[in-house]
Structure formats: structure tokens, C-alpha cells
Homo-oligomer: A and B are copies of this chain.
Amino acid sequence: MTSDVDGDTTELSRPARRQAEIAAYVVEHGSVSANDLVEAFGVSVMTVHRDLDELERQGVVRKYRGGVSAQPTSVFESNVAYRLNTAQTEKAAIARHARAMIEPGMSVMLDDSTSALALIDLFEDITPLTVATNFLPAITKLAALRDITLLALGGIYSATHDSFGGMPCAEAVEALHTDLLFCSVSAVSPTHAFHQEEEIVLVKRAMLRAAKTKVLLVDHAKLQRTALHRLAPLTDFDVVVVDEKTPKDLIQPLRDHGATVEVAKL
């Protein structure tokens, strides 16, 4: 669990980073007091409380009098701040690889994945483009771009993912059909893609039905994890993109089971 946080420490505001670290700390220790955190992170009690409030708002920890306790690991792992911290250079490489699949005029669907964010930065040259997404940071970014038709997929806001979901979102997805889907999950086995949360699975399944070409974006950390809900067999995806750091012996099994795997060059 404490393993693969190969954090580039940049790219995230100081408080956000500290919050992610606090979250990790809490998850590791199960439950700690505010004062413990004061010592561990060298900030004032006030700041600790503010951080914990924010983490609680995101659903990552539960506050009670005298301390905080961790929520199930699942929600921590799908916490946005945490994910943003992880494997940024790999994600950039994956994004560049994905970009090559897009042609001007296409319609593209993005889910609430941090790789998608990196991908958006590469959109400026591929206009015109139609992009549909349920991920709030992505929506904000896209709204500022010209020559991009932005189709926001609404739904119930989740602070943990900073995205929209639930039935309303699934319905919005079902009304569409895009050329491409770029999608991410929290865990990948040799045969299937998995995700922690049921409501998210609901939306992602809908997205899979609503796109012609489906691309799964996977950084190497995902291949060594598991998660509760089976989302879909890997053969449902037309392409699975992994980063270069992925060990060869983890890639081969996917291919053996019929998946088309491409490796993104750094």
C-alpha cells in the first residue's frame, strides 16, 4: 500500500499535496489524532483541521472528536488529489500516444481520469473537435478553448472524483455515440478492467456502449492492483495503452488473453 507513491512532488499546490500526504498517512495508520499530524507534518493545529475538513468533504476520512479514521482504501485510491500526484510523466507519455489516435473533426469522450487532463493540453492543434466528458476540471479547461464543441455530461457531483455521475450521467451518455473513448480504471487484471465504485462503473459501462473505438489508458501501477467491481473484459477495448515503465512480464499476459496492447514512449 505505501509502496508505489513515486510522487513527483511538483505540479500540485502545497496544501493540496500535504492533504494528499495526510490522507496517505491516515490510511496507513488507520486512525490518528490531530496532534499526531501536527508533529508529523510540522504545521499548526488549525491547518491540520482545515486539511482534515477538506479531506472529509472529499469523503476520504471521517472526523470524530479526538481524531480521524480512514475510509475504505477504495475511496482513497480514487481520490483525485492522490491520483494527480501519481506518475505524471508516465501520464504525459500516455496522453501523447493517445493524441495520435485523434483526427480533426472527430468526437471524443473522456471519463474522469487524470490522463484525460493531460490529453486535453494536446488538443489545441487537432481542431475542430467535439469532446464529451463528465470530469469537472476537464470541462473547465475545454470551455476556455476555441474550435472545440464541448458536451458536458451532467449528473450528481462527487467531491471525491471531482466529476459527475449517477443515473443522470449514465442517461446523458446513452444519448450519445462518439468516435473515440479514452477511459481509465483503478485496476487491471490480465483479463479484465476493474473499478472500486459501483456508480462509477455504471457510467463507464455506459461510455463503453456509447463509443465506436474504445481506448483504455493504464499506467503501470494499475496492473498490480485489484478492485471490487469488474468493469469489462479487456477485449472490449480496441486498444490498451500502457506506459514504458510497465514490466514486460505484466504486459505479455494481457496479450495472451487477446488484448491489443500498445506501449507509450516516454
Q: Are the CB atoms of A156 and B151 closer together than 8 Å?
A: yes
Q: Residue A71 at the B interface, CB < 8 A?
A: no
Tell me which residues from 121 to 161 in chain A have a Cβ below 8 Å from any Cβ of chain B: 134, 136, 139-140, 142-143, 146, 149-157, 159
Do A156 and B162 touch (CB < 8 A)? no
Across the interface, which residues of B come within 8 angstroms of A225, CB to CB? none
State whether B152 touches A164 (Cβ < 8 A): yes
Q: How extensive is the interface on chain A, given as a class?
A: 20 to 34
Contact B156 A149 (CB under 8 A): yes
Selected interface stretch from A28-36, A167-175, A202-210: A167-175
Our pick among B143, B164, B172 for the contact of A157 (Cβ within 8 Å) is B143
Q: Which residues of B contact A155 (CB under 8 A)?
A: 151-152, 154
Query: Could you tell me if A154 and B156 are in contact, using CB atoms closer than 8 angstroms?
Result: no
CB distance from A80 to the nearest CB of B (A): 12
Chain B residue numbers with a CB within 8 Å of A171 are 171-172, 175
- Are the CB atoms of A143 and B136 closer together than 8 Å? yes
Residues of chain B within 8 A of A157, CB atoms compared: 139, 142-143, 149-152
What separation, in Å, do the CA atoms of A18 and B107 have in the docked complex?
35
A139-B136, A162-B143, A171-B175 known; A152-B154 Cβ under 8 A: yes
Please judge, given known A-B contacts A139-B136, A171-B175, whether A153 and B156 are in contact too, CB under 8 Å. Answer: no
CB neighbors of B among A33-78 (8 A): 57
Q: Name the residue of chain B whose CB is nearest to the CB of A140.
A: B140
* Interface set of A (CB-CB < 8 Å, partner B): 57, 134, 136, 139-140, 142-143, 146, 149-157, 159, 162, 164, 168-169, 171-172, 175-176
**18 contacting pairs across A/B (C-beta < 8 A):** A134-B154, A136-B143, A139-B157, A140-B140, A143-B157, A143-B162, A149-B156, A149-B157, A151-B155, A152-B155, A152-B157, A154-B154, A154-B169, A154-B172, A168-B175, A171-B171, A171-B175, A172-B172
